[in-house]
Every structure is written in structure tokens, then in C-alpha cells.
A and B are shown apart, each in its own frame.
Chain A
């Protein structure tokens, strides 16, 4: 049995061989918000945070994960502002890549917290591992930049 801490809760899972973290989350723990779109670590739909760092869970062997895992389900409350901004700006259409985008952005926003916002170019570069086929990215970047700015304003 492998012990995982997922969204703050200890879970014991019988991980099979090289089973991916994404498969474990979806099939064993029932956290289907983490999506699988390429299963090769190339698109970002499966992004979760492991020890606070954005990780492609579709190629991350679950057996090697020891730190805290955070998924969209666990983060939804923390990023209510970002989710609302995504909705207001049209930063998602079909929504399939959206959990991955939001989780990736969460790590960026946390890193940015001590600073005064995020630079759009940095957001674009840092989020280029998250493919979106619907929106053309403009609204996603704008939403992340806006929320970073707003949070910086509140924090100051």
C-alpha cells in the first residue's frame, strides 16, 4: 500500500507498478477533475501540484510521489477569484483543459504572491505547457494577470 496525501487527506492506495498519479487520482480516488488528454506529459490537462510544484500527473509514477498532492478539487475554494475571472473573460470554452490551466496558474499565483502581480509575458511563457484548443489563450493570460494584480493589491 502506498500512502498519498491528497488535498490534505491521507489516502492509502494499492498502486500497481508504474501506474501514473493521474490514473490513481481518477480511478482509485475518484478525482476526475484531473484530465488525461495526451498521456505523454505534453499538454498539461493533467496538471496537479506535488509539493506545491506543477506536475504532469499522467507520466508521474504514483509510487514515487511522497509529498502533498493538490488537485483542482482541493484548490477550487482557494482560487474562487481566478475561476470567476476565467468565467467572466471567456478563458474556457469546452472546459477540458481548464482544471489543468487553473492548477498551473495557482502555482504561478502563489509564487507571485510576494511580488506586485505577474507580467503577461511571463504568464504566457510559464503556461505554455498547458494547451488550450478552444480559446486562443488571450483570455486565460488576461485572467491570470488580473487576478495576480488584484491579489497583490489586497495583500499590500
Chain B
């Protein structure tokens, strides 16, 4: 049978699904654990560095600094003069998180403790943190560069084609500036290396999560002063790469250097915080573009000024910028393109290689403008693109020799599959469709030898076959398609083919999986090796069977009337060694050319892939939320070698691109990334992407192995513009900066509709001092508090879990014991889902913890005789939802929206109420006012406060109470029963909350019960929240709870707004207005509430939009309780 072209299971599926696949951190070598000391400053000179105290710390075996490397050691990447990055900081740090030293110790906690004992004295320098700052007149230069402009590392200026002709034919043009933010790969497996030094022969063995072992070996060897072949890779699974693991970061060489110094194996596994806060994310692009078209809608000219945030070192910036620019020279058929691109140094972590490699960023601009132009010309966006599609077998402006190009078929597939024409004409307001197209190479001649791939085939005398290649499959399915190819060439059962990758002693030369080269290069080399072996086997069979007519199938060589097993042929072969016939071959790709200095065009790839994506969205004008309803991704992949794997690459890349389009963005404050956790990084979860449908436009490309083109990177390119175009189609606003978060959408709508809020702070003396303080922050107050004030604080925990920091942890079954322990100073916890994480950031967390989870008396939900709902404090959220789904559905509804099923299974009701605030500064290690003490700043005042901070009643801390239950229970007039050893008391829930995530609990007191009075249980209530992903905390929420009598008159009303003020906030005036009303409409309520919010609110500069959003939520919940569908009765 033929396997190529058919869907096959991943070759190692059984191990990948039973937990036995080994990733680097799963190996059980007796290894030391490493931790890395990182710079807290964006730009500073290192005046002194002393590791002597750390070296004497318990468990510490080795400490390394720049002094452990050659004085001029730098990562070479593509070679001088662009090489600028040392393995450990030498004299200067240029970004927060830059590696300064590393420690190997017996345990990770010991290694982290030793980091604190390393004394570093920094002399901070003024740091350019953004593109604007870096290019401002007089900006501090981070490096001496060869361009004349400050902080411009590389200037790429080119004119492709014939701009003059393009200009002459242009009739319509649009121009604009687009921004694509820096986003994180967020691989599930953090970057991890296990290194073993072999003293005897001076080699180092690495088990490392990588897509390209050869490159890692090159960097590790040259940085350690070894030969390339002294760095030996061993096969290990890689938990996602998406580009990030295709070049050396730091963990590989640091682990190797520590292993050499310690002469023991060392495991260096980045924490999630390091992975997101200090690794090398996607480069931020700010793209100014002008697209000119003629009257037929044909693109005639691109003119562009591209600014790329390089970060503090070159790493992959020069080539990412170049590939980004090539977008304008490779898509469609303009006469000319005039491009200036600048790679600009900022004191932030270096950008890295990320799936799409500059193309998604520039594509956002080009594909958005195509829609703007289609609108001007009155053309359907699909038609606009169909007129412009690339021609087959033509050369593009940037020198690409296109082979097959099925973009038109992709566009047609979007039209059909997305039901484009009907949905575009859909009269329902606020729904829209958008399309975007793109192209990407299949490999690139970007390095020496990038046009070469070696592969080997072993045929064993029992008939089994083994493929050996030097790359690594980070999840792309590469190994599986190689097995399919070998099975076909050799006519064996796929189950009889195994694959060995990335073993330096056993696998031949191969540069690895980057630039979408895996399928083309290794597919070709493995196919060549296998077909050459097949020919040898056929020769042996011809001799044995005495016939020329031999085919390989079913594990045999089959002649006219006889057959012989492959294993028997191996035994017959003179070349077989120990029962194995091995063959290694070299595949050399012809027809591509490398980029050379002074040459701006080149045919980099053997084939080019195309795709068109279509998005169908609904925009909630009230909240700004963009909901993806349907998504079609149609790809010209040539021939799909393994269709299921191809569909997986399409859907996975599309969702990753959708994430960047709708929510993902690394956010910085003072050069430091704030959102270093999944919690604060709005990546799509399962429920956020209900329908993403890959479509393979099957064809056959003559250049590809077995007709195939690339797919892995292509799929992430179109989503940004497809979504932006769909939002424009839905609500008529063009957003040019991703992600399309609700703040941007609602602000654009407000601007379009001319809505503005006035808060008249000058009339409100109670807010004067807060207004004054906020005004002083940018004038120097922030600087003083940040640089000086933070020194006098109580400190901030490392964020690392230290099991030994808890001396006692128990869960007694009676309340008396709990109260007794708590009176003696124990910290009470519920399920621990917040407390166990939160304590890592405390300077002096409690050492004695006591859980309420086993106290039976606190674990019930019951209806009291008077009809009140009594909820035990230790009831889990899941139990609460279960118990209230029929009786008080608003509680169940709110609980369902909290975190994840796993968390709801353990988190308790009381724990949810008393959980810490979710402010990302507070949570992620900033020495803020609440965390560190009164002399510290609130980082939210000047920092990014769009989503999580107060718009009403903010004081020195701008955080809010994060609990959704708190918001709902406030609307339900709940009481909180508290107990201590010396007695009980009851507070209303409004008395219970006194500040952002802060309560009136006294020392020794424990929440024992929440009581919802019978009257509130009977009321009609509804809850709605706006968040950035499923399970996220509320950015804003609203609860309405009311009584409506038989005549339809509201006799009682609560309207509580969540996540907008330090505590759940009752809109008292709106409540009063509702009482006595018959069938109040959303529009009426909105008017009253807007008035109240205008009078009471005091937003920060960037979060005023939350007032609109929360008022919109109030409209939604009113309609929910009155049974009006959105839009009706407006």
C-alpha cells in the first residue's frame, strides 16, 4: 500500500499518549539543578560581581559568570559583525532578565537561594525601551552600530521592480501605520536542557528541547571552546517549538558550562515566568504602508517604512526583518515596491525566531489595506484578492521563482466553506466576515549548507527499517511523514519503520526544522536514501530471483513468480554489517540561492505555499468583545503527505495567529514583562475557538518531495488581518494595532459615535488628592518611589515554590482545632489553589497552614427552614454550582465562569472570596505599594491598567476584588458568618470586603458560612462578565437581582458591578431608578447608569473604556432577567 498522501497516526502515538515519552526534564540522571541570575535593570553597567558567598551556600556545586567564558565569546548566529550577544552579561546588561550568572546546586531551591547571595552592583543607565524612545533625538545608544542612525542596528532599503510604472498607473491609494505586538511562543514545555560532561574525552552530551540540534551544537561548541563534534546530542522529545527552539537561547550553553564546571550532570529548565518574561518573543513590527491600486483593483505599488523592535541584541532580528519586508515583494503582482526597514535596538529582551518570521507582522498591514481599497472601489474583498493572485511559474519582485500557486483555489474554498456571500449579506448587525491571504516559502537558503540535507536508512535482517535524520520533531509530525516515505519506497509496513532523530553519533548532517524546511529537505533526503536502498535491494532480488522485474511490497521483493523477504536480502548483501544494511545519502537542493551582501533579491525556496483564511465574527458593541464564530483556513500545500498532520498544522497555526489577533501580547513596564504567566496572557482556550476548519487545497508541486510544500508557518500569517477585516465588516471600525482587545474595539466605536465621558473631578473634593497623586506620578513621583521607595519595603518573594517553607500542613476534621490553630497564628487555607501560589510572592509567608477542607460542618450547602441558602465555607466551587443550578442559577452561572474545572474542583467558596487581588504587578513580582509597602509605587498608575484595575474609587492601589462570587453575593444581600475561638459574628458582604481582595477578617477569625437570605434566593438574577479568555478573571462584570410583582413592576433591585472598583460596587442610583419601574428597557437603564458612572468614576488614562463595557454588561443582565433578547426593545 501507499502511505504517502494518507493520514497516519503519529509514529510514536502510543508512547505520547500513555505518559512514557521522555522529555528532557523526565530523564532520571542524578543531575544538579540550575538557576539563572537575571538582570533587574533594562540597561546598567555591572560595577561589581561577587559570587564567593553563593559558592559557599548549602548544596551549591558550581557558579558561572562571564569570566567562565572566553573574553570575546558571543553567539555567532549568522556571523560577525552582527554577533553581539555574550552567553552571560559582560560588564553591561541591556535588558531585564539578561543572564548574569548561573548556579548549579543539589536542589532547585538551593540554587535559587544561592542566586540571592550573588552580589551584583549595577549602575543603571537611562534605557530606551520603545521604538519611539530608541529613535528619539539624543537617545542613549545601546551598541555601537554600523548605521549612522542611533540604535538602528540594520538599515535595509530597497526598491524592487519598477516603482515609477507602478506610480504612473496608481489611481487609488491608502496609507496607515500598523502594529503587531510582541507575543510569546508559550510552548507547553519550557526550554530545558540536561547536560552531562564527560571528563575523559572532553565531550558534553545534551538532552535538550530543540528543533535544530545542529545549530545548538555549533553555538555551544564555539562558546565553550570545543569542536562541534564534541557536543553530542541524544534523542529526547521536544514539547513544542514554533521557532523558539530553532536557535540557541541560553539554557543550552549555560547547562553545558555548569556541567563542565561541576563535572556532574546539570538540568536547567526555565520556569514559566522565565519562559515568558526572559526568552525571545516575536519581534514587534510597526509598519507604515501605502498601497496603490489601479482602477481594476490591481496592486501597482507598495511603499513602506518598517520599524522592527530588535530588543537589545541582534539574535535573529536582521533576518526576521528581511523576511518581513519580503512579504511585499512576494505576494501579488505589483509593479514595484519601495521599502525602508530599520532594525532598532531597545533595552528589552532580544526578539527571536517565531513561526511566520516577520511575515504575519507585515501581512497585517498589506492585507488590511487591500480591504480598505476594496471598499473604496466597491469590490468584494475576495474578488479584490482574486484579481491580484500570484501567477504560477512567474518570478516575484523579490526574486522568488514560483512554481505552483493555488491561491485562487484557496480563496474560492473560503467563499464556499465560510458561506461567504450569505454571511457577508447577513443583515444581522454586528456580525462580519473577513479574509486575508498570504504566502510562505518551503525552506530558505538562509545559511551555508541550508540547501543540503543528509539522511540514512537501515534495513534490518528481520525486515524492520529505521530512518535516521539529524533534525528533531518538535511536534510537527516530521518523523511520521519520514517513516511514511521510507515505508513507501521500501514497500514495508509502516509499523515496521522506526525513526531515530538528533543523535549526534548516529544521525547524519541536517540543519533542523526551521524556515518551514522540514518536509522539503528531510522529505527529499529520506526519500532519496530510501529509494537508493530500495534499488540495492531490488538488485539483490534480481540476482536472487533471476528476473529483472522486481517490485518491493509487503516487506518483500516480489518477482514474476517468486518473492524474497527484505530481511533475507539483507543477509545476502555484502554491505550488511551485523545484520543491518545501512545507507546514507546527501540531498542537495538545486535552483535556490542564498542572500548575499548587496543583493536584495534571491530565490530562497524551492516552492512557495499559499493560503487564504476567512473569519466570521460577532462583535458585542456593548462590551467591545470580539467573538469568533467560524474560521476557515484554506491552504495550498501541494500534496499533503499526511493530511491529518497537515490539518493539525493548519488549525494549530491558525489558532496561534487568532490568539495574537484577539488577545495575546507581552506587556512591559519599565522594560520588564508584566504578564509572565498563562493567567495574565490571553491565549485562546478551547472554548474561545469553537470552530476553526482547515481546508487542504490538494495539488501536486513538481519541486516538492512527493508533490509537497510547507505548511507549518503559513498558517499563522493570515489571521491578524482576517480578524481585523472581519471586525471592520461587523461594526465599521478599522483597528490597525493588534490584538483586537475589547478596549480598542469599544474605544474606536466610542470615537466613531462621538461618545465621551466627563467626570468633573474638580467638583469632587474627595478625589482631589488621588488626582494630585496621579498627576505627580509622571512628574517624578513614580521615579522616586520606584528607585528609592522600594528599598524600604518588606520585600517580595522569589515566586519559587519552596516546600520546606511550610513546617506544618494539616486538615483537621473539626472546626475547633482549626480555630485553635488559627488563633495560634496558622494561616487558614481552603483548597489551596490560590494560597499555595500566592505565598511564593510573600516576603515571609506563614509556616503553619491549616485547611478547612476536611471540616464536615463547613462542607454543606443547605436550605434553612426560613428558605435561606446556607453555604459552608469549605464547599468547593464545583459543589456550589451543582447545588444551586436549579435553585439559584445565577450562582452556578458565575461559578461556571471561574478558572477551570480542575480549580473549581478544589477551590472553596471562602477561599474564592478571600483570594488575593489579581493585579499583574502585584502577582508577578513587582515591588508594589500593596506588596512591598507604603514607600513603593502603584505600578498600575503609569503602567498598563487597561483590564484589571479600578475605574471607580481607586486609591493608592488601583487593584480590584477579583472574586466573581463576591459580586454575585453582594447582589444577593449575602451575610458572611465568621468564627473565632472567642465567638462568632456576622457581617453583611458589603461590610466583609474593605479593599481590593481585602476583608474585615480579624486575626484568628475564619469564614464559616455564607448565607443568602430567602428573599434574595427568590429574586430574578443574572450575571455576565467580560474577560479576555474562557476562565479568565473578570475585566468587568455585572449582576442584576430584582423582584418583579404580578403587575410587572420592579419592587426590589440590586445592580452590582464587579472588577471596576476596589470592592463590588452597587450602582445605587440605578437600583433606585429600577424600583417601581414596569418593563424597564436596557436603553433606559443605560442612560441612568451612565449618568451615575460619569458622576462617580475616576478612571485612569487607559481604562475609562471599562465604564462603557460595564454599562454594556448591565444592559445585558437587565435583558437576561426580563427575558428580552439583545437588541429588542432598544
Do chains A and B stick together as partners?
Answer: yes
**Inter-chain contact total with CB atoms closer than 8 Å:** 251
**CB <8 Å contact, B19 and A128:** no
Say whether B164 faces chain A, with CB atoms less than 8 Å apart.
Answer: no
Contact of B40 with A by CB under 8 A? no
120-148 of chain A: CB within 8 A of chain B: 121, 123-141
**Interface residues as binary, B171-195 with A (CB distance below 8 Å gives 1, 0 otherwise):** 0000000000000011111100000
Q: In the assembled complex, which residues on chain B have CB atoms less than 8 Å from the CB atom of A114? A: none
Please tell me if the beta carbons of A44 and B17 are within 8 angstroms of each other in the complex: no
Q: A40-B679, A41-B833 are in contact. Are A61 and B809 (CB under 8 A)?
A: yes
Q: Which of B1-43 contact A (CB under 8 A)?
A: 7, 9-10, 13-14, 16-23, 25-26, 28
Is the CB–CB distance between A87 and B17 below 8 Å?
yes
Query: What is the minimal beta-carbon distance from A10 to any residue of chain B, in angstroms?
Result: 20
A20 to B272, CA, bound (A): 17
Minimum CB–CB distance for B866 against chain A, Å: 33
Task: Report B938-949 CB contacts with A as 1/0, cut-off 8 Å.
Answer: 000000000000
Output the least CB separation between A92 and chain B (Å): 6
Specify which chain B residues have a CB less than 8 angstroms from the CB of A84 in the assembled complex: 9, 13
B1107 at the interface (CB under 8 A from A): no
Contact residues of A between 69 and 87, Cβ < 8 Å to B: 71-73, 76, 83-84, 86-87
Distance of A88 Cα from B645 Cα, bound (Å): 10
The answer to whether B644 has its CB under 8 Å from any CB of chain A is: yes
Chain A interface mostly helix, strand, loop or mixed?
A: loop
Interface stretch, picked from B254-262, B401-409, B682-690, B974-982, is B682-690
Q: A40-B679, A76-B19, A92-B16 are in contact. Are A133 and B188 (CB under 8 A)?
A: yes
Q: Does A115 contact B (CB under 8 A)?
A: no
State in angstroms the CA–CA spacing of A30 and B688 once bound together.
Answer: 35
Nearest B residue (CB) for A45: B188
**Residues on the B chain within 8 Å of A8, using CB:** none
A15 to chain B, nearest CB (A): 8
User: Which A3-36 residues have C-beta < 8 A from chain B?
Assistant: 16-20, 23, 26, 30-36
CB neighbors of A among B165-223 (8 A):
185-190
Pick from B476, B801, B1031: contact of A18, CB under 8 Å: B801
**Contact yes or no, B17 A95, CB < 8 A:** yes
* B809 contacts A133, C-beta separation under 8 Å: no
A99, A121, A138: the one within 8 Å of B651 (CB): A138
Q: How large is the interface on A (under 10, 10 to 19, 20 to 34, 35 or more residues)?
A: 35 or more
Indicate whether B99 reaches chain A with its CB closer than 8 angstroms: no
Quick check: B655 and A73 within 8 Å, CB to CB? no
CB-CB < 8 A to B21: which residues of A? 95
Report yes or no: A33 in contact with B238, Cβ–Cβ below 8 A: no
* B573 at interface by CB-CB < 8 Å: no
Please give me the residue from chain A that is nearest to B240 by CB atom.
A94
The answer to whether A89 and B239 touch (CB under 8 A), given A40-B679, A56-B833, is no
Interface residue? B784 (CB, 8 A):
no
Query: Which residues of the other chain, B, contact A53 by a CB distance below 8 angstroms?
Result: 878, 905-906
- Judge whether B902 is part of the interface by a CB distance below 8 angstroms: yes
The answer to whether B851 touches A138 (Cβ under 8 A) is: no
Interface pair B17/A92, CB less than 8 Å apart: yes
Q: Give the residue of A32, A41, A127, A136 whose beta carbon is less than 8 angstroms from that of B652.
A: A136
* Residue A102 lies at the interface, judged by CB distance under 8 Å to chain B: yes
Contact of B644 among A88, A129, A137 (CB under 8 A): A88
Tell me the residues in window 47-82 of chain A with beta carbons closer than 8 Å to chain B beta carbons.
47, 53-56, 59-61, 63-64, 71-73, 76
B651 touches A39 (CB 8 A): no
A89 with B644, Cβ < 8 A, contacts A32-B22, A40-B272, A128-B900 known: yes
Q: Which 7 A-B pairs have the closest CB atoms?
A: A33-B19, A129-B900, A94-B475, A136-B655, A96-B239, A93-B475, A87-B13
Complex A-B: 17 CB contacts under 8 Å: A16-B803, A17-B805, A20-B836, A33-B18, A39-B271, A40-B272, A41-B903, A56-B902, A59-B837, A60-B836, A64-B811, A90-B647, A93-B648, A93-B652, A130-B686, A135-B652, A137-B692
Beyond A83-B13, A87-B9, list 12 extra A-B contacts (CB 8 Å).
Answer: A17-B805, A18-B803, A40-B837, A41-B902, A44-B902, A56-B900, A83-B17, A86-B13, A94-B188, A98-B16, A125-B687, A129-B903
